[in-house]
Structure 1
Amino acid sequence: METPACDNYRAVYLTAEDLRIAASIIYNAYHDDPFFKDALFKGDMHQYEQKLRAAIREELNDLWQQEQTLVGLFEDDRLVGVVCVFSQQAGVGEGRYWNWRLKMMLSTGWQSTQALMNKESSILEHLPGKNCAVIQFVCVAPFEQKKGLGAKLLDAVTSWCDEQPELDGIGVFVSQESHAHLFNRHGFIPLASLNIGNVSGELMFYESQRDE
């Protein structure tokens, strides 16, 4: 995948060498995410940050090994944004593989691991069909925000969706109103209200615009 360069920005598939920087971008962007705070924070900020780093690292490695869609937004050769998408055919939710469960449990604890799986299962349960993908992470590096780069990432992922012949659309769980507005401007519509743990939000859905 490669989108045409625009103002020196391009969206391309990540390589193995990009995963460390991608994990750092995701960690900083999701540090105060309501779901991760609810799932991982148990009163100790240092432990929370360790768990968050481990959870992101394990999830990125698992998505990579399962050959899921990991896209980076680059300014020239510098990674500034990331979007990670998994298909329903991937082992997620209650279908998580034992090795992921073990690594995540050792890194974050059983309750946190269960919360991560419950979130995925709840999203999958409310999607309109079996041929849908889910955005797991989408973020821009903190110092690169307020430049419209989130819109470029969503343009890239919706264009990717439209090019997939077997894909009906993409879902994403959104718990912050400002994020919901951004997704809505890119064709995502509210599909269901979800309560995941102690966090309320909307499952939003982009329907593929592929040519039949």
Structure 2
Amino acid sequence: MSKPQIDLNDVEVVRIDERYSRQARSLLYHSYRDEPTFKYLLDSHRPGYKQRIRATIRELIRLHFDRGEFVFGVMHKKEERLLGVAFFSDLELKMDISRQLLWRMKMVLTTGFEGTRRFVQYFNEVQESLPAKNHRMVSLIGIHPDFQKQGLGKRLLETIHDLTDKDQNSIGLFLDTGNNRYLEFYKSLGYEVYTELPLGPIQEFVLFRPNPGYVDRAA
């Protein structure tokens, strides 16, 4: 069955709030359920993987909205349907997430101790690999499977790039992925491999897009 084709004139990138949480949860579940990082962190070979990944995404989304982070969505103008979403964080979220007691309690209850331990370790290792200088990070991003490879991911990231490039105090934007199929796409948008981290049986790629407008005031 052929996938529906989208006219880019019918979509726009907008900042969304918690009213779109349910759509965002569903969209990210379909985007991440087969991703190597999530499959390892939540042990996809053990029964209940779908429930664990749904619970993990729910808690991560809740944490972002509770913190008032930027969340951008690719919205179909006529249908008001969310086709893609990106959670866009500052430096502090990656530092804080493993220390959020309530978040950790909910994660343990829904995903189990081992899944929570792996997630905390994963977040810490990614964070420790990043420079101390001010930067931003795309923490979660996904395009509905029916509309992938139609330019929506590029449109979404370009909106984030426009915003981050205006911040002269930020060295740029980071994101990470355990799926090397995405590397060429990210490189085409100006990202470079910043470092690679061993994550169980896979390699997690930390990618960096420098901010062309960054001013090193210390220098």
What is the TM-score with the length of structure 2 in the denominator? Answer: 0.87
What SS class does the counterpart of residue 146 from structure 1 fall into?
A: coil
Question: Are residue 174 (structure 1) and residue 187 (structure 2) matched?
Answer: no
Which residue of structure 1 lines up, in the alignment, with residue 167 of structure 2? 164
Higher CA-based Rg? 2
Whether contact under 8 Å (1:93, 1:121) holds in the other structure is: no
Give the 3-state SS of the residue equivalent to 1:193 in structure 2.
strand
Query: Does residue 1:90 correspond to 2:93, yes or no?
Result: yes
Are the equivalent residues in 1 in contact too, given 2:86–2:156 (CA < 8 A)? yes
Structure-2 separation of matches of 1:202 and 1:59? 20
User: Residue type of the partner of 2:172?
Assistant: G
Q: Give the drift of 1:95.
A: 4.2
Q: Match of 2:72?
A: 71
Q: Structure 2: state its 5+ residue gaps.
A: 1-7
Which residue matches 1:56? 57
Q: Which residue of 2 aligns with 1:3?
A: none
Is the 1:82–1:138 contact (alpha carbons within 8 Å) kept by the matching residues of 2? yes
In the alignment, the residues of structure 2 paired with residue 61 and residue 24 of structure 1 have an alpha-carbon distance, to the nearest angstrom, of 14
Question: Contact between 2:86 and 2:142, CA under 8 Å: does it hold in 1?
Answer: yes
Aligned-residue offset at 1:119: 1.6
Two-structure CA RMSD over aligned residues (Å): 1.8
Q: Secondary structure at the match of 1:128?
A: coil
Pairs within 5 Å for 1:99-114: 99-114=102-117
Q: Which residue of 1 aligns with 2:45?
A: 43
Query: Are 1:115 and 1:197, in contact at CA under 8 Å, matched by a contact in 2?
Result: no
Where structure 1 has 5 or more consecutive residues not aligned to the other structure, the ranges are 1-5
Size of the aligned set, in residue pairs, is: 206
**Quick one: distance in 2 between partners of 1:12 and 1:107?**
31
Secondary structure (helix, strand or coil) at the match of 1:166 reads coil
Within the candidate set 21, 26, 29, 2:23 is matched to 21
Number of the residue aligned with 2:149 = 146
- Which amino acid in 2 is paired with 1:116? F
Structure 1 residue 198 displacement after superposition: 2.6
CA displacement 1:156-211 (0-9 Å, x = unmatched):
12112112343221111122222111111111111111112332132110111237
Change in 2 beyond 3 A, CA 1:113/1:141: same
